[in-house]
Structure 1
């Protein structure tokens, strides 16, 4: 007896096999601890009032980190953004495909900044590697 399996089923099963191009980095043993360190690093700044770090690795939001920062009035959102990106970039957080940073000045929301760094895009990663060195891995 022959079993006919639709091609879509075969592709779905093959996609779950774990094979692929290269070995993915080992998952972070303590994403919560890494997030707490990123939050502490930002809270040590005089121009930061509050920080919320989140990490997701789901099918709809793979290997993404988000850092929401409430700046103190008059702070430079670009400087805070760059520090948040540096802290996440230099962390041992694995896997990591993107770093989203949102900086809000509650007294002047227009001065805020919201950007995502796509770590799968060499145009985004090359300047970070040049400035901070390669990611730990």
Structure 2
């Protein structure tokens, strides 16, 4: 009888351990599959160019000291902006004289580590009432 109780108790401990290990493995698997995330300052820095086949592609370059250079069209030149990354997956863009608490534009942003793609929503004017979403790749 004691042998049966020990066997049943041992199996219960073994089952608990098995479930814990499986839970941890699934947690790691799902965490590893999430490639889209909010970029940090180091992932963001450098020149980016719009991912499409158009004759002119939008360019944005993020530099240290919260400076960004945005070229939207060949005839308009390059805009000098200041930026701040917000914890709510947002990029805040400011005119230099308005930084850090003045008027700004707010853009949702994601970074895909695997594809090395940066997606910024609302950076360009919307078409047909739906907000634009611009995908950039490293230049």
Question: If the TM-score is normalised by the length of the shorter chain, which range does it land in?
Answer: 0.3 to 0.5
Q: Could you state the TM-score of these two structures normalised by the residue count of structure 1?
A: 0.32
Name the structure with the higher strand share.
Answer: 2
Q: Could you state the TM-score of these two structures normalised by the residue count of structure 2?
A: 0.32
Greater Rg by CA: 2
Name the structure with the higher helix share.
Answer: 1
- Higher RCO, 1 vs 2 (CA within 8 Å, ≥6 residues apart): 1
